[in-house]
Amino acid sequence: MTDTAAAAASADLLATARRIALAVSATALEQRRRGVSVAATKSTPIDIVTAVDRDTEERIRAMILDARPDDGIFGEEEDVHVGTSGLNWVVDPIDGTVNLLYDIPAWSVSIAVVDGPPDPEHWNAIAGVVVNPVSGEVYEASLGGGARLGDRELRIDQDVALDRALVATGFAYSLERRRSQADVLMHVLPRIRDLRRIGSAALDLGAVAAGRLDAFYETGLNPWDHAAGGLIVREAGGRVGGLRGEHESDRMLVAAAASVFDQLTEVLEGAGA
């Protein structure tokens, strides 16, 4: 496939992902306005699922299969759908479910298309969309096509020092992992401008791309948490990876401008992350 053909294919996939994300976001927002309650728990009693999560993923899957019946689907709430095209849609129907439950306006729908298996160490992300249904903001990117917030092209500020960086993080649902995350945080906090905990990794990554944050790090993320957001950061000129030269994974994801990335990973490694 030529570069021109690849760019056109990426743009088409992005358009489909955007259309689906916007449609399900509108429905999810209407459900939130009618009221939300916990439907079930998953890994721990504080790892919750709502009917909105399940309904939104069902709608996303149906719309993907209608538009792209040969593609695979890898989502948070349902089993993997195995495709034959080599492309996989990596879906987080609601990223920030606790925020949704409490009506905090920082939750999102995240949809990405990757070439290869649904594994960050082996896929090549092609298109990604993150929508905040409450604000209506749409972060998006396609491979080689740049990143945007609405109509605004995104380029990360490359001239930021760690001690002037606004950094975001998140915390696991495992209490044991939270203890280790708190220990690491005590090493990070004295070395940065300030810290934010927003509650949606997808929105955190979009905020890094948009310059609202200078960096984001978290352990325990799943592929669907960062598939779209990671591409958006990279296409905005940022770096995404793990520690000690590794790919991003559930062990660690760091996203930042190049000027901050090495400094932050050094601090995290020194803290035993």
Residue 199: closest CA among 103, 76, 263, 269: 103
Residue 197: closest CA among 220, 218, 177, 224: 218
- Distance between CA atoms of residues 89 and 17, nearest Å: 9
Residues of the chain with pLDDT under 70: 1-6, 46-47
Q: Say if residues 229 and 110 touch (Cβ distance below 8 Å).
A: yes
Q: Say if residues 221 and 253 touch (Cβ distance below 8 Å).
A: yes
Tell me which long-range contacts 220-223 makes (C-beta under 8 A, separation of at least 24). 220/172, 220/173, 220/174, 220/177, 220/250, 221/170, 221/248, 221/250, 221/253, 222/76, 222/92, 222/250, 223/74, 223/90, 223/118, 223/119, 223/120
User: Sign of dihedral through CA atoms 104, 22, 223, 42?
Assistant: positive
Per-residue pLDDT, 181: 93
Q: Which helix (H) or strand (E) holds 6?
A: helix 3-34
End-to-end Cα separation, the chain, in angstroms? 41
Per-residue pLDDT, 172: 87
Q: Say if residues 166 and 176 touch (Cβ distance below 8 Å).
A: no
Q: What are the angstrom distances between the C-alpha of 201 and each of 52, 98, 168, 269?
A: 18, 12, 9, 21
Q: What confidence tens digit (pLDDT) does each residue in 105-158 have?
A: 999 999 999 999 989 999 999 999 999 999 999 999 999 999 999 999 999 988
Residue 202: closest CA among 185, 222, 184: 222
DSSP string, 120-166: TTT-EEEEEEEE-TTT--EEEEETTTEEEETTEE--------GGG-E
Per-residue pLDDT, 1: 54
Per-residue pLDDT, 141: 98
DSSP string, 164-186: G-EEEE---S-HHHHHHHHHHHH
User: What residue spans define the domains of the chain?
Assistant: 3-153, 162-270
Residue recorded with tokens 């492309």: 87
- Distance between CA atoms of residues 185 and 166, nearest Å: 14
Per-residue pLDDT, 6: 67
Q: Which CATH class is domain 162-270?
A: alpha beta
Residue 237: CB partners within 8 Å, gap ≥ 6?
155, 156, 158, 257, 258
Token readout for 191 is 């070395």
Choose which CATH entry (3.40.50.1220, 3.30.540.10, 3.90.1310.10, 3.40.50.10170) describes domain 3-153: 3.30.540.10
